[in-house]
Structure 1
């Protein structure tokens, strides 16, 4: 599902940087869930969290009431006026069932320009074509705990020595893009509060950010690893094809440990200790 700041372009890299061993996986700023859905389901305990209550309600309905949600989605938005009415209704928190709110919110995401929730994208979209995706997401989320908490409280609740926190917070100096329905602003104080919360944990964290001097200064600490990477800049694609966006990936563990313990390819001399005489028999 499209979402502001979604990690579609980096999900493959991020999953390969996970540590070899962990028992709990906690996605702190869940958003569109690109990393969670790309991550192979295993025996680990999984948590999805987001501070946007409408987004969390949508995922809970996908997990718990998929048939009711799909039935509610049979109504199709077909104009800018419909879009504006639904957006205004959600913004004033009008009384409605959790399923109806989830359907409205999903429609806003699908019909808004660049999933920004603010303006009608003016492109036809058949909601029924999404039903198989909803059913797949329902199965994937069956055992996932879905939370709607402030990041600091969530980290404190789920921190254990065997916990892995993946965090994709609003990027520094771009926080305005995230202030949509159901979201509060993310301030510079929150970036600092996040850093302080991560410095206190017993478990491990992997954090994706935009590469700027303020973020680098926050995490310039012993035992913290930084990796530079880039991705396609979706916003600039309209006028600068191929433009890249610089990203930082930050962790409190060696992000290459999975590569270091991966078994190397063996040849015949490895298997036989250099003695191939047995092949003649």
Structure 2
């Protein structure tokens, strides 16, 4: 029964986030806010709403392992699974933007800051505040450097629809109810599953919750491939990962300090580091092809093997 509740709750979490993103875009477009601003503030971080809701609910209920594991798992899946699929499927990727010279810092700096923060075994409230400052810094960076790349990330169909305040507010309300309610049931059912199988809440957060909350990024990336804009996926994943550390982990640790067991979770943290530096290597050498995909999928296979061994 807990598995059914978990799946339904995860679906509610993801659909709720989609409602919030789309209706926020509608309202912004109604007030003639530029596509860049919408992309930088809503689309770039909107797909991280499921992770944020799940981790903040886990933090609020005192489940630190789930909150931290969700972020580590989501960032790892974003890089290895989603970009692995994108690089493998996309026929040709040749981004006009020099991702290495402009964006490379945002691939590795959040990970390095995270590693430094957890040396004392905790992501505290001050650490959370610093992560929030990182989000402000990233938004400033986007406004300064990323206007042309983000213009194409908005759903153009929204600009053709007639604006309706009642409809937008109603769907926003439904979205927030789905997100908050879904996050609550995801955490509770996930905890029950962990107890049933005798595995840690860390593994549930790392494997099940993080994979489920990464679905919006996967959908966005697959749609980008279909539209011939696969190269946008790299920037979207970089932005989502920054949001996972700044909004998700930062927000969760502001609610309640998050304990991190470095010894028990060393392998998963190292996989996160390996995935991030592999992505840095790929964008430095412009390996947006099957070779780059294979590198990422090898890391994903190691990650899944270790997680399944702990789960089974």
Higher relative contact order (CA 8 A, sep 6+): 2
Task: Please report the TM-score for the alignment, with normalisation by the length of structure 1.
Answer: 0.24
Structure with higher Rg: it is 1
- Greater per-residue helix proportion: 2
